[in-house]
Each structure stands twice: as structure tokens, then as C-alpha cells.
């Protein structure tokens, strides 16, 4: 199973995903010699389960936020610290948002989650694969009060590596506190996005 976990985390050792390390490759070579299946077969099985639509259809919005959640405390340019939550979700943002009845319910669910976890703001990172096998990423930012998200987005626009493209959620689920983007740089996972947010919060406000 360790081989399967390494294969899943590295996107089956795909260099274009920029998640595989020499240590992963070396460990996989040793593990595969004693495994009951090849790393490719194990990856295919786990990947199918991870993205199983039946699982994600059954999840509530809160379930989606909790499945793969991490939080970090980042120092800010003002000298204080902000806790930022990151939820990795394996459906597109429209499907995620529609798990709430409407915009008010979506805002309430996200606000409650932030309050429960004492977050300055929440980042929902989606990754999904379309029928043609293409991998896509989207980002959603939610902040009930404050300008941290606006500051981070301005930083991202200037820094440029994520290649963000502003999108609109369905009209029934639009809220000014929710910002949604296509992330055209699909190689950037939470390991890359979190440090960028850390840099953004530590930087002086970007002049618009």
C-alpha cells in the first residue's frame, strides 16, 4: 500500500506534475519488487477511488472541506499572524457550490467553517479530470471580513505563476465574499500555492 500512496501522491511518477522526487523513485523501485501489483496498476485503482463520483455526490459541502484539509499560520506585513485553511476538493467549483442550496447557504457554510477553525480566510483548491483525460484546477477564496484575500489576489496577478482566470459561480450561488478562479497552471498544487499565499501576506499591499 505504501507503493500505491507514493504513486498517487506523485500522479503516477509523472514529471509534468512536478510532484515526484528522486527519493520517491528510489523507494518505488524497492517496493515494486515485493508488491502484489505494479505501481501503475495500484495508481489506477486508487485514482479511480479517489475521484469516484459516487463518493463526491454523497458528500455534504462540509464533508468536502474536511476530506483533505490543512491549515497554516502565516506572518503578515503588519507583524501579526493569520491562520489560512486549505481544502483540496476533487470536483469542480460549480458542483462544490451547488452542494449549498443558494448563495446565502454557501456563505453561511463557509463562514461557519472559518469560524470553527478560527481562520482569517479559506482557500478551496479543486482538481478534477475531464472525459478527455485533461487535468484541471480551480481556486475559491472566502473571507467574511477583511481584505487579505483581495491583497493575495492582487499579489498573484502581479507574480503571475498561477495564471489565474476569474470565473463566475452560477448566479444562484454568487456572493461578493467568494472569489473563484480557473488556475491555468495545473502543476501548482497546495505545496506551491500555500507558500505563495505566505509570500503575499508578508508583502506590503500591492498598489492597484
Residue 207 lies in a domain: no
CATH number, residue 71: 3.10.310.20
Please give the model's pTM, rounded to 2 decimal places: 0.77
Domain span at 13: 2-50
Q: Which pLDDT band, with edges at 50, 70 and 90, does 8 fall under?
A: very low
Q: What is the pLDDT of residue 38?
A: 64
How many residues appear in the chain? 208
Report, as an integer, the average pLDDT of 57-74.
Answer: 95
Whether residue 60 sits in one domain with residue 38:
no
d(CA 119, CA 113): 8
Whether residue 89 sits in one domain with residue 58:
yes
Look at the chain and report how many structural domains it folds into: 2
Helix (H) or strand (E) holding 49: helix 39-50
Whether residue 59 sits in one domain with residue 44:
no
pLDDT digits (tens, 9 = 90+) for 94-138: 999 999 999 999 999 999 999 999 999 999 999 998 889 899 999
Rg (CA), the chain: 18
Whether residue 99 sits in one domain with residue 182:
yes
Residue 208 lies in a domain: no
Amino acid at each position: 500500500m505504501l507503493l500505491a500512496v507514493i504513486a498517487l501522491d506523485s500522479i503516477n511518477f509523472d514529471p509534468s506534475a512536478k510532484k515526484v522526487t528522486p527519493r520517491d523513485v528510489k523507494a518505488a523501485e524497492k517496493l515494486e519488487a515485493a508488491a502484489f501489483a505494479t505501481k501503475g496498476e495500484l495508481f489506477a485503482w486508487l485514482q479511480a477511488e479517489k475521484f469516484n463520483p459516487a463518493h463526491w455526490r454523497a458528500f455534504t459541502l462540509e464533508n468536502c472541506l474536511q476530506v483533505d484539509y490543512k491549515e497554516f499560520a502565516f506572518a503578515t506585513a503588519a507583524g501579526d499572524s493569520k491562520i489560512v485553511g486549505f481544502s483540496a476538493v476533487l470536483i469542480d467549483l460549480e458542483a462544490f457550490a451547488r452542494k449549498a442550496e443558494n448563495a446565502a447557504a454557501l456563505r453561511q457554510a463557509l463562514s461557519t467553517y472559518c469560524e470553527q477553525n478560527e481562520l482569517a480566510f479559506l482557500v478551496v483548491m479543486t482538481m478534477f479530470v475531464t472525459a478527455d483525460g485533461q487535468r484541471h484546477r480551480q481556486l475559491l477564496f472566502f473571507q467574511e471580513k477583511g481584505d487579505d484575500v483581495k491583497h493575495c489576489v492582487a499579489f498573484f496577478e502581479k507574480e503571475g505563476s498561477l495564471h489565474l482566470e476569474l470565473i463566475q459561480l452560477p448566479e444562484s450561488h454568487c456572493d461578493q465574499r467568494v472569489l473563484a478562479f480557473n488556475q491555468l497552471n495545473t502543476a501548482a498544487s497546495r505545496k506551491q500555492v500555500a507558500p505563495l499565499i505566505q509570500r503575499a501576506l508578508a508583502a506590503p499591499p500591492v498598489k492597484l
